[in-house]
Each structure stands twice: as structure tokens, then as C-alpha cells.
Structure 1
Amino acid sequence: MVVPCVEFDSYVWKLQLRVLVIVSITGAYGILPEASQEGMLHPYKSYADVTLFHYTVPPEVRVATWEFAAFMDNPKCPIKDVHIYIQHGSYPVMSPDNSSFPPNVYTGRTSLHYITTKSAYQPHDATIFPVYNPLPGNWFVAAYISHWDQHVRQEGLGHKCHYSLGSVALWSQVMGIPVVSPGVPKTVVTIDNFSYYKIFIPAGTWHFTVKISNCEFRVNSVTLFNNSSDTMPDCIQSLALHARALPTFNPRIVIGNLSTESEFTFTETEPFTDGYYYLLVVSESQVSFNVAVTTTECSVQALGRSFAKQLAQMTESLTQSVMIRHSNNTVKSDWASTIVFANSSKVHDLGSLAGTNIPQYKSEAEEDADTTNDPCLPTFQLARIKHAQDFADTFLLQGREWYATWVALTDLYPVIVQLEILPFVDIGGTLNINIHLDELLIPIKNASSQYLTVTACIRKGRVPSRNNGNIECPPELMLSISSEGLATADATKLVPYPEPDMWFIAFQAKCIYNSSVVPCPVQEVMVSLDIRTQPCVFAGEPCGLKGICQETHKGLHFFTSCTCLGGYKGWGCTDGSKATPESLLLLTTLLLTLSNVFFLPAVLLAVRRHLLTEAFIYLATMIFSTFYHACDQDFYTYCVTKYEVLQFCDFFCSILAFWVTLIAIAGIPPRAASTLHMVGVLIIAVGVEYNRTGLLVFIIPFGLGVVIPVAAWSIRCCRQRTCIHLQRSLVLLLLPGVLLAAIGLILFAFIETEANYQYVHSAWHIVIALSLVFLLPRRCSRQQYGSCQGSNESELFDVNDYYSASPVFVVTSDLDNLLTTQS
């Protein structure tokens, strides 16, 4: 089945055809994803820059194959390495710049793969990556190119290289796998050398066994393995059992090879529930065998007020028969056996109320004799409390009539809570798991050396491992608190982009005296649970003091990530190994703001020459540029209003300053100048609002602005019927301004990069401001149309005759009027 994409690029079609050829040659059968996907690649600065693809892999797939091809839009563009991460269930958690993660962040992934490829301009061989026996469901692909020091180039000025990535995926799926139901023994017959069977394990299953027996050949005659012996060949060469995905056959590791008279049993004490387990049977011929699945279930129920009340009454009556001994010879088993067996009927009632079986104490001899005894533990479901904000849900202990943030523990047995992380809804944030031991609720806080410890183990998909009633947990998934002091009474674990599944947290309380485990002299210990989803990384300040939390929407993808400031890096902006020194940050702020002071000479000169409009625009440019750059800093920042408002005003006034300067040079009448000022305001405002970083917003005003003085000069030459030759004094005045403006353009277009931005951009402020001083015309009285004081008819571009019409024309006009009046 092939589902076509709505819109394909040409090379994506080539990828599809290449994949189909591979499939036809290998004889594999499979289906293409919903759409072959293409996305633009960006340099990695934060997680918001990654390109994301999403695929839905169906169940029972032998191999899923991804094919990637990276392209660039110009042969002159540099070849870049493309980094690709493939992750099941959630967005990949990665560290592209080898930065460190915060110490309490868990970065383990169920199925994460990493590959690289290179960009090319011409079609080339794609990078093929197979994943054998993949987990079904959502798969995410994240890709990016390494960050480099790019030129800060105006959009449209020169070519900016663009990179893209195309991907195609397909998979071969096993169809028609027989189902084996728990509790119903079944005889099955193999149909191939590799035969698969699936077993559904319902929610609440504590452990289960799969027994294979009575294997028989289904052929009339069987060749002896050795003519000199009576040994028959193995009926089954190998067995394998795997959760949620097809098992992988490894010929080097043979498990479960059976003869016709033997049997084999798989025992799963920590099963994945509410899903399928897959059984692989490898045989050289057609055989039949019996398979029986046996399960042990433990129900999960909510607590009610009746349970809490009876629990308090029961523990009070039980403690009356307990003798707490504080000697070194006191052992936990004595106190535990007294508690549990003091009233067997009440213990049974407790188990029925909780929906679980309270584990019974056994002596060491009994434990050695029966190591397979694994009674159910109290397991409670956490309820989700939905909030209006995204990634702000909390999880509380659910009762029949109430919700609670506290869980009661005892040192007799562990207690388990479980919560569900949903796909797409929760995977874009961080799962925050915090446990706290309140000092007011810690009765063991005295001068003795006895203290209480509570250990919590987190595990995705199934309950944590247990060994003789004790929880076994890897260090990266363990939380530990104790009553030794306030510093040890709190612990937090952060899981970024958590994978959707049922998550289990097992709690175990112990009392320590002289480095030995002793019975706790209290009936129960209350532990506070604060489990929630949150944006970015940390609670309160999501990215700490060195970063900004950013929400990103890319199609169906919605996630939060940190954008680090001041050279900090890392998932939570906590890695300061390459941080910018504070002195350099302060210098950057001072350079970009104080460099605008160089606009003051142009302001004062314009006021002295009675060019008040130009002076006001130059002053506004200086003020808004100063406040914009003060607001645009990582640290040492100050924003008098919204960043977008300051950015608009800075771009608008900068372009308008050149517009009014060119009109002043043209020397046109005041009415025409006022009209052109308003025309420029409207054009520049619309352009800056439409795309303030685009090239057209600069080209159109400058192009029209240059036309105005050229047109004025041309009209004046036509009226005077002569063009006065350029004078040396005028060249000395205008040439420095033109040269400074050209230098500013070169700095802005070709020299300015992200690394030297603060220095080059500050120099740009200075040279542009100084160029205005030389470009400003001499002062005009404007008492008469076009006349300026101190005129010199031989000076071209001098405001006295360049900005005014010929005096002969004016006198002639006056004489005509006099003659008309006398007549």
C-alpha cells in the first residue's frame, strides 16, 4: 500500500524510485509512509533550529529502512555535514556541541540512533539506515547542520546558501501472526523456519510464564543426526521472547533448543503490560508443540477514606503488640513478623482494601528455598490534573473521594505509583519528579545516629526490578532522601521529552542505625510527591538565569527548548565552559549604545543651519538605536518598551534619516519638501513593517531618494540652459560624506559577522553618523522661494544658487507684473 504525498520535490521522487528498486531486487514486501518528507536544514543554535520528521511504524515489522539525501541550492556553497537522529516515541534528546546536561537530568532513550551524511548540489547516493525489529508507533527524525560564523548579511544582498534534507522510509511487515491467549494451552504448528506467535499481556499483570513442551516432527521420516547413535536432531533449534517488537535471532546465542521430550519455560517477572509479547520459534522442519501462558495479576485501585481510616486503626492495634528494641541485636525480621502476623485477618483486610496482596515475611531459610515467591506490591494510580497552560499538568494520588500529594510508606514492603505520559501531549516538555521528606513529619529526628532513608526508583513501561523484597535500581534512575538534614530531605529527577508510556515509581523506606538496617520505630512515613510536566527544563525559571524558554510549533510538532545567552550552552544553559566574560558583555552593550553618540554632531549642525526637520530625525535615530541595542543584549539589558517596537523604530528612523538628507541636498521648495517627507514616511513605514530585514526596504527609499536631487539638478540646468561646472570646494565637502557612507556599506555587507558584530556594527554607527555631517547642505533662510544666504552663482551644489532658481527669472516675472498693472 502506497500513500502518495501531496507535494514532492524531484529528488524525493528519485529517492522513492531507488527504494522501490531495492525492494524489488531483495524481494522484500513493505509499505511506504504517509508521505516522503523534505525539510530545510539550519545551523544548530538551539533545539528550535532542528528539522523534524515524523513516521508511524506499524507493528510486527522486521526491518524499517530510512533513506536520507541532503542538498544545497548552489554549487558554490560549502559542503556541510548533516547530523541526523532517529528516535522512537519522542523527540531525540541530544547534545550537538558536546555540552553537559544538568546533574539531575535523565537522558536515557529506549531506541535512539545517530547517523551523518553530506550535502551535495547534484543528485547523489543517499544514506540508507536500517532498524531491525523496530518498536511500533511514532518515530521522530531530527536533523541539523553544524553552526558556523555566518556573515550578518542583509536579506537579498548576495546569495545565502540554503540546505535541505529529503527522507523516505519503508518497512517489511510480517502478516498473520497467530495469537496465543493466556490461560488457554494451545498446540501450534510451525509454517516456516522462523515462526512468530504473539501473546497479549493485559494491564495489571505482575508476572507470567510461557511454557513450550511436547515438540513433535510433522514429517513421516526423519534422518538420524548420526547413524551411529540414536540421537534425534533438535525439534526446535532456538527460542526467543521479546516485548512489543519481534525478537532478534542470534545464531551465536542459542536459547531453548528442544528435543522431542524436553520443555522450556520463559519467566518474566517484570513484564511490559497492555501489549504483545512475541515468541520466535526456529526449526529446520515443520514441527508442532504445546504452548501454555500463565499469568499472575495484581489490580490497581484508588484509595478511599475507608481505607485510610482502617489503616490507621489497624496500625494502632498492631503496634500495641510490638516490642521495639533499640539494641544492636535488633533485626528487622523480628519486628516485621510481629507486625504482619499480629492479626492475620486484619492483614488480609488491608490487602483487599488496597487491591493488592501485602507481602508476607519469610525467614532466610524459607527465602532460599523459595526464591520465586514474588507477591504483589501496593500499586496506586496517579491522576492527571489538566491545567490551561501547555506542559503544566500535575499528577496526584487518586482516591475515591479525594486527591493527595502524600504517600504513606512503611519499611515492611515497597509501594509503587504509576502515571501515564501521553504521545504528542507531554513529549515536548519535561517530566519533573520531586520527592520531599517534611521535617515536621519525621518522627526520627533526635540526637541518636538513627535516621530514615527513602529510595525511589523510576522506570518506564514496567515496574522496577526486585530482589528478595528490595528494589534494585540503576543510579541514573534513583532518587534518595533521608532525615539526616534538610539538605538530604529533597530530591528531583528531570526527564526531558519523556517517552509516552506508563511510568512506574517504586518507593522503599529503611531505617539506618550504626550503618545497619533496623526496624523503624514509626508506623508510617509520609513522603510528598510533586510530579508534573513543565516547559523547557527547570521549574520556576525554565532555563535558569542564562537562557530563554522558547515554544516552537512545526506542523504537528510542539515542543519547548532553551535558547542560551552569553555563550552558555547545554540543554538547560548550565554549561559555562565557553561563556562570554561579563566584562566583554558589558563592553558589547556600551559599544553598541554609546556609538550612537556620534549622531550628535549631525544633530547640532542641522540645528545651526536651521534644518530642524533633519535635526529631529537624526535625534530620533540616535535615541531609538540606543534603546534598541540596549534591549537586544543577552545580559545588561534594558527595554523601555517592547522589543518589536524598538526594532521597528530603529529601522524606520535609520532609513528616514537618509531620506530627509537626500531631500535637503536637492534644495527643493519647502512645500515640495514637506510633501516628499510624508511620502517617504509612508513608504518606509510600510516597508519596515512588511520586512524590516529585507533588501527592498532599503533599495526603494534610497533609489527614490537619489532620484530627487538628480531630478532637481536636471530641471535647474534646463531652466538656466547651462550646467555650472563642479567646483573644488564642493568636492571637498561632499566627497568625505560619500566615502564614509560607502565604508559603512562595505562594513555592513561584507565584514560584519556574528562573532565581530559588536565591533563592526558600532563602527558602522560611527561612519554613518559622520557621513551625515558632510552631506548636510548649508543653512537656508527660506524667506523666498529657493533663495539662500551667501549665494555664489559660480558654486554648483551650493545652497545659494543650486537650491534656488535664477534671480533673472524672478526679476523678469516681477517686471511682467508691473507692465500689466500700468496698462
Structure 2
Amino acid sequence: MAPHNRSCLYKVFVPSYTSRVLVEVLRCRGAEGCPLSLRVRAKAPPLHNSTALDCREHTPCQLAQDLPFWQHWYYVLVEKHPGVPGTVSFQVTVQLTDCSRPSLARPPFLPSSASMNMPHSFGSAGGLALGDSPPPTSPNDTKHPLPIPVTLHTEERCWPVRPTLRNELDTFSVHFYIFFGPNVSVPPDRPAVFVINLLPVLDSGGVLNLELRLNVSSLCGENVTVFGCLNHGVPLTSGDNTSVTCETESLAGFLLSVNATASLSRLRIPYPQTGSWYLSLRSLCATEHGLAQAIEALRILGDQVSATHAAPKNLILKLAQSLGLPSPAKSGFEPCTNVTAEVYLRAYLSPCINDCGIYGQCKLLRTNNYLYAACECKAGWNGWGCTDNAEAFSYGFQLLSTLLLCLSNVMFVPPVAIAVRSHYLLEAAVYIFTMFFSTFYHACDQPGIVVFCIMEYDVLQFCDFLGSLMSVWVTVIAMARLQPIVKQVLYLLGAMLLSMALQMDRHGLWNLLGPSLFALGIMAVAWTARTIRRRHCYPPTWKRWAFYLCPGALIAAAAVLLYAFVETEENYFYIHSIWHLLIAGSVGFLLPPRAKPSRRLGPLPRRKGCGYQLCINEQEELGLVDPAVASINSICTS
């Protein structure tokens, strides 16, 4: 390391089945001994707060990483202490221990030259060496590899990793099948290791589900507990054979356990990290050592606690902890002898947890090209699977909201009666259609358990929206007092256009405002034409304006304002019920009275007595025949 440089950064790739990474600084020479510090970090260069090893205080200067991450880069940072003058020469060696072949150790090779502050990787099956100084040469100037002492841990072994078969069913719906499974045999002397590979992007938006079920009949009466450790990147299989933890200094996983008492264990990981997940299963037999110490503690405290050998486990743990005794969970297990436990293993990906239950709906969302699934909870429920009822609505509140939304549609009964009395039969049919489908749509739309659906939800929603818009449309067109043929054409055209608009966007505000404004425009044109032709304001009576049109218009405007600006998800239950009441009430005010029958001339009354009477031919009066060819029947004799 030159005087003007303060650090050198290197990297080495750690392949699979690597149980240990050993980084060592050798042949360090400088002005003040070995004024270097060594830092090692996985996946990224070391930070200033990473663990540093001072080579002046440690001989040999080496850092070891047990159970390193597989298929990742490890970065080695060598720093010079501040204020050290001159050049410092050193040699960095990185030894990778292959856990599948612990007896294999190839001496690392030294590169002929290397540039400072640039990453370099020189690998072999056994190790790697990095540095600035030229390699040592033999007397005949032939380069030879420099042997490095290899310290192998006899306890470190690498067990075969059984792959899983991937079967994609749907989006975020993948099942992982085990060869010769799903029943797995866990021998007593070694763990059973499985790998689950999650693809990038495709598998990160769902939920990883893992289920363990113990076959109690395979235990042969022994007190066996099967522990499962699910970890990302590397299997946690080394360490103490009696340890039940699933973590090391640099790694942490998910621990599962099944025994004769609790034979089923489930684990769910929302939005799992992609890559390789390793599941290590091992069986341990419980001993009475830790439990006996806790029972002895109960005997000592017999004057305070009255309990027997069958005391609750949590009480034993508390008493043992208060006396400083070892925990039964840590000291009460040992390797089994001749018991092979059988476990049913199921691993799969699902979009949501339990399909969000009855209080939620599983939806697929996309954000910045990332597709993921999430639960949309209702009725105040929260959580990953809509299982948190801290703010959930009570049954009484759900029943009340359902009754409000459904029974508020009874307000359409008066408009139906008024329409039938005024001979507006088509309008009455539309109001009945709206009342029926609005009632059953809101009975099916409830978020809780007070739900009743007579048909598919989508059909009910479409019919409810169509009926609401058609009620507004036919009411305003009826107010325009158009010719029957024109009115029928507008009714049919409005039904088709509204169906098209609802198919494009059912929740758009303009689906309501657009048809309403268009119908109001038609009515305004018709009323203006009548006013000009009659030279009198239409409708002609002030009572019609004061008692019907103005109140109905104010009620309808209030309903539209509530729907557009006040209604939210929180107040939906009562604001939408008020919307039903206002809309139905406005229809009762705005529907025009019955149209007067057309004036037609009937036969003249016959006078009593004798004589002749001149009769008027009805067809001639209406201009249907020519007066010159009037028949003799036009003159009647009484």
C-alpha cells in the first residue's frame, strides 16, 4: 500500500456448499509493525461501523465467517491506520471451506501483480490470495504456490440438499413438490435439508406458506420434537446438535417445531425475498434434566406455590428463570437414538393469507411494474389476512347498516303509486326495477357477515346502477311532455347509452351528471318551445312551481351534492341511505300530473219531437273526406 493510499478493497465470490470463509493478513511489513485493520462484509463493501480487526493486536490477523451466504460476493477491506508513514506491504488470503468435501484443501495461489484499490478475485476450490507484493520464487526463479495452513472443523459437515419441483397454477399460486414426498423421514443422526427456489419478481408479491404435520404414530412412543429452520441464502445445519435456535451472529431464520402434543405448525411469510430458501429438519428427544431442575425449584418454594409435577410449563419456566436455573427449552433436548420421525411437508405460494377470510377481498395490484397481492379489508378489520378485529364493526352495527341501506329503498313505493295513478306505467316499471335491485344489491354488498345475495354480485351492481340512472332519465323526460313516439325513442336510446357508460366506468360521477344534464337540456328546450307558442310561462300555474317543481328540484340537488361531495367509505351506510330517500322523494314531487285526454267531437244529442235535423259528418269535420262527395247520410231524419 503506497503512502498516499489509505485502503485497499477486494472481493471474493462464495459459491454454494461453503461452510466457512477465512480471511487472513500475512507477511505484513511496515514502519510500525503491521499498522492495518481488516474488515469483511457480505454483499456490499464494509462500512465505517463494521467490525474491524486490528492486526497489531491480533496474531495471526484473521477473520472467520461461519455459514456464509452462498452465491454472493464477500468484500475485504484493508485499511491503514492514520498517520502511518511509508509503504506497507502485506498479503491477503481468503480460504473457502467446502462443507461437502471438508478434507479437500487446495493451497491458494498468489497473483503475480495486482493494482491497488481495485477489486480482484482469484479463486480455486480451496482458497484465494490477494496482494501487492510479488510472489516468492524458488532459487531457479520458478513460481510455486505458497501453502497456507488449513484448519478444518471436524464438526462441520454438509448434508445433501433435496430439491423441490415447481408447479405454477396461477399468478402467485405455486406449489413446491418434494421428490418421493410429501412425507419426509427425519433420521435421528442428521438433518434433512430442502431448498425452495423463488424466482425474481414473479414470486415476491405473494405469500410463502410452509406447513409441517408430524405423524405421531412414527415416534414409537418416544418424546420426539422435530425442529424446522427456514432460512434464506444458506441452510443453518451446523452448530450444537442439541440447539433449538435458528440464528447465528450474522444470520436469522424462522423456527418451527412439532411434537406429539402440537403436531401441526404453520408459517407464512408475506412478500418473501427471492432466491433460495433452505429448510432444515432435525429431530431431538426431550430429556428430564431441565424439567427436573424446575420441579426441584417448585419443591423449594413449596410454602409459596402449591403445585405438583404436572405444573404448567410457563410456571416452571418462570420459576426456573427466577432462580437462575437453566431453561428446559435449552437444556432439555438431546439427539435421538433410533427414532426416525415422519413429517408431512407442504410448501406453496398463495396471493393472500387464507384468501383474506370473510372480511376481506384479495386483489392484485401493480406499482412501478411490480405486481403484488394484498387484502382489502372491510367492516373495520385489519391485518395481513384481515384477522385483526381491534377496530372491527360489531354484529349489531352491521345489521343496522344493512337494514338502513335496504329499507331506505321502500321510499320508492310512493313514486310507484303516483306513476300508476297518473298512467305513467313505463316509469312505474323502472321505479320498481330500481327498488328491487337496489335492495338486494345492498344486501349483497355488505362487508361483514350480514350478507344475502340472490345472484352474482356483479349482476346486482350493474342492475342497481342502471336502475338508478334510468329513474332519473325517465322522470326528466316525462317532465318534458314530449310526443309519445319521441318519448319512446328517448327512453330506449337512454337505456342503451347508459348501459354502455356503466360498462366503461360504473363509479364515475359523470355517469350520473351526464344523463341528468342532457335530460334537463331536452326538458328546457321543450318547455321553452311551449312558452313561446303559448306566450305564457310553462308550466302555467304557480301552484305547480311552488308546491312541486321547486321542492323536488331542491331535494334532487341536495341528493346529488351528498353523493358527490359528502359520501365517503366511513359514512357510506347512512349517507347513502339518505341518498335513497332524497332521490325517491324528489321523483314523487317532479313527476308531472296525468295528461288530459285529447278533445274529440262525439255525436250530437237527439232532440225530442218531429222534424228534420241537420247532422254533422264526423269524418268531414276532421277533414278526412272531401265535402263535395259527402254521402246522403250526412242529413238525418228524426
Smaller-chain TM-score bracket? 0.7 to 0.9
Q: Mean alpha-carbon deviation: is it higher for 431-440 or for 388-397? A: 388-397
Q: 1:254-269, aligned counterparts within 5 Å? A: 254-258=52-56, 262-269=59-66
Question: In the TM superposition, what whole-angstrom CA distance separates every residue of 1:170-193 from its partner, at most 9, and x where no partner exists?
Answer: xxxxxxxxxxxxxxxxxx989831
2:186 paired with 1:413: no
2:452 paired with 1:675: no
Match of 2:512 in 1: 698
Match of 2:265 in 1: 491
Matches of 1:743 and 1:721 in 2, distance apart?
Answer: 33
Q: 1:71-110, aligned counterparts within 5 Å? A: none
2:309 paired with 1:532: no
Match of 1:11 in 2: none
Match of 1:522 in 2: 338
Residue 578 of structure 1: how far off its partner (Å): 0.6
Matches of 1:249 and 1:589 in 2, distance apart?
Answer: 61
Please report the RMSD computed on the Cα atoms of aligned residues, expressed in angstroms: 3.1
**615, 622, 636: which one aligns with 2:428:** 615
Is the 2:242–2:284 Cα contact (8 Å) retained in structure 1? no
Is the 1:215–1:258 Cα contact (8 Å) retained in structure 2? no
Matches of 1:468 and 1:710 in 2, distance apart?
Answer: 89
Residue 432 and residue 689 in structure 1: after superposition, are their counterparts in 2 closer, same or farther (change >3 A)? closer
Alignment-mate amino acid for residue 19 of structure 2: W
Task: Give ranges in structure 2 of 5+ residues lacking alignment.
Answer: 102-150, 292-331, 602-617, 631-638
Match of 1:506 in 2: 280
Is the 1:683–1:701 Cα contact (8 Å) retained in structure 2? no
Residue 716 of structure 1: how far off its partner (Å): 3.0
Alignment-mate amino acid for residue 185 of structure 2: A
Is the 1:208–1:268 Cα contact (8 Å) retained in structure 2? yes
How many residue pairs get aligned? The number is 512
Alignment-mate amino acid for residue 601 of structure 1: P
Question: In the TM superposition, what whole-angstrom CA distance separates every residue of 1:106-148 from its partner, at most 9, and x where no partner exists?
Answer: xxxxxxxxxxxxxxxxxxxxxxxxxxxxxxxxxxxxxxxxxxx
Is the 1:391–1:429 Cα contact (8 Å) retained in structure 2? yes
Q: Normalising by the residue count of structure 1, what TM-score does the alignment of the two structures yield?
A: 0.58
Matches of 1:673 and 1:518 in 2, distance apart?
Answer: 89
Match of 2:387 in 1: 574
Matches of 2:171 and 2:4 in 1, distance apart?
Answer: 51
Q: 1:437-452, aligned counterparts within 5 Å? A: 437-444=214-221, 450-452=222-224
**370, 384, 392: which one aligns with 2:165:** 384
Residue 205 and residue 518 in structure 1: after superposition, are their counterparts in 2 closer, same or farther (change >3 A)? closer
**649, 666, 675: which one aligns with 2:463:** 649
Match of 2:474 in 1: 660
> What SS does structure 2 have at the residue aligned with 1:239?
strand
Alignment-mate amino acid for residue 385 of structure 1: R
Is the 2:364–2:373 Cα contact (8 Å) retained in structure 1? yes
**725, 740, 744: which one aligns with 2:555:** 740
Residue 655 of structure 1: how far off its partner (Å): 1.9
Match of 2:567 in 1: 752
Match of 1:627 in 2: 440
Matches of 1:213 and 1:762 in 2, distance apart?
Answer: 82
Is the 1:443–1:522 Cα contact (8 Å) retained in structure 2? no
Matches of 2:38 and 2:519 in 1, distance apart?
Answer: 83
Matches of 1:428 and 1:725 in 2, distance apart?
Answer: 63
Match of 2:374 in 1: 561
2:413 paired with 1:600: yes
Match of 2:304 in 1: none
Alignment-mate amino acid for residue 736 of structure 1: P
Residue 634 of structure 1: how far off its partner (Å): 0.6
Match of 2:40 in 1: 241
> Using CA pairs below 8 Å that are at least 6 residues apart, which structure has the higher relative contact order?
1
Match of 1:473 in 2: 246
Alignment-mate amino acid for residue 552 of structure 2: G
Matches of 1:545 and 1:815 in 2, distance apart?
Answer: 71
2:16 paired with 1:203: yes
Question: In the TM superposition, what whole-angstrom CA distance separates every residue of 1:666-699 from its partner, at most 9, and x where no partner exists?
Answer: 2222222212222322332333333333343333
Matches of 1:274 and 1:519 in 2, distance apart?
Answer: 31
Is the 1:192–1:286 Cα contact (8 Å) retained in structure 2? no
Residue 784 of structure 1: how far off its partner (Å): 6.2
Question: In the TM superposition, what whole-angstrom CA distance separates every residue of 1:5-42 from its partner, at most 9, and x where no partner exists?
Answer: xxxxxxxxxxxxxxxxxxxxxxxxxxxxxxxxxxxxxx
Residue 243 of structure 1: how far off its partner (Å): 1.2
> What SS does structure 1 have at the residue aligned with 2:165?
strand
Alignment-mate amino acid for residue 76 of structure 2: L
Matches of 1:191 and 1:396 in 2, distance apart?
Answer: 58
Match of 2:327 in 1: none
Matches of 2:4 and 2:211 in 1, distance apart?
Answer: 52
Is the 2:375–2:386 Cα contact (8 Å) retained in structure 1? yes
Alignment-mate amino acid for residue 244 of structure 1: K
**206, 209, 217: which one aligns with 1:432:** 209
Residue 579 of structure 1: how far off its partner (Å): 0.6
Q: Highest Rg: 1 or 2?
A: 2
Q: 1:292-441, aligned counterparts within 5 Å? A: 292-299=93-100, 372-398=153-179, 403-441=180-218
Is the 1:407–1:527 Cα contact (8 Å) retained in structure 2? yes
Residue 577 of structure 1: how far off its partner (Å): 0.6
Is the 2:14–2:73 Cα contact (8 Å) retained in structure 1? yes
Is the 2:465–2:502 Cα contact (8 Å) retained in structure 1? yes
Task: Give ranges in structure 1 of 5+ residues lacking alignment.
Answer: 1-187, 223-232, 301-369, 445-449, 788-810
Residue 622 of structure 1: how far off its partner (Å): 0.8
**218, 231, 241: which one aligns with 1:459:** 231
Residue 814 and residue 728 in structure 1: after superposition, are their counterparts in 2 closer, same or farther (change >3 A)? same
Q: 1:13-92, aligned counterparts within 5 Å? A: none
Matches of 1:243 and 1:622 in 2, distance apart?
Answer: 66
Residue 432 and residue 637 in structure 1: after superposition, are their counterparts in 2 closer, same or farther (change >3 A)? same
Question: In the TM superposition, what whole-angstrom CA distance separates every residue of 1:56-91 from its partner, at most 9, and x where no partner exists?
Answer: xxxxxxxxxxxxxxxxxxxxxxxxxxxxxxxxxxxx
Q: Mean alpha-carbon deviation: is it higher for 700-709 or for 621-630? A: 700-709
Residue 617 of structure 1: how far off its partner (Å): 0.8
Match of 2:148 in 1: none
Residue 298 of structure 1: how far off its partner (Å): 3.1
Residue 437 of structure 1: how far off its partner (Å): 1.0
Matches of 2:275 and 2:52 in 1, distance apart?
Answer: 31
Residue 490 and residue 244 in structure 1: after superposition, are their counterparts in 2 closer, same or farther (change >3 A)? same
Matches of 1:393 and 1:748 in 2, distance apart?
Answer: 43
Residue 562 of structure 1: how far off its partner (Å): 1.0
Matches of 1:500 and 1:722 in 2, distance apart?
Answer: 78
Match of 1:273 in 2: 70
Alignment-mate amino acid for residue 476 of structure 2: L
> What SS does structure 2 have at the residue aligned with 1:426?
coil
Matches of 1:761 and 1:782 in 2, distance apart?
Answer: 40
> What SS does structure 2 have at the residue aligned with 1:560?
strand
> What SS does structure 2 have at the residue aligned with 1:678?
helix
Q: 1:115-194, aligned counterparts within 5 Å? A: 192-194=5-7
Match of 1:638 in 2: 452
Alignment-mate amino acid for residue 256 of structure 1: D
Matches of 2:599 and 2:473 in 1, distance apart?
Answer: 24
Residue 266 and residue 609 in structure 1: after superposition, are their counterparts in 2 closer, same or farther (change >3 A)? same
Residue 618 and residue 506 in structure 1: after superposition, are their counterparts in 2 closer, same or farther (change >3 A)? same
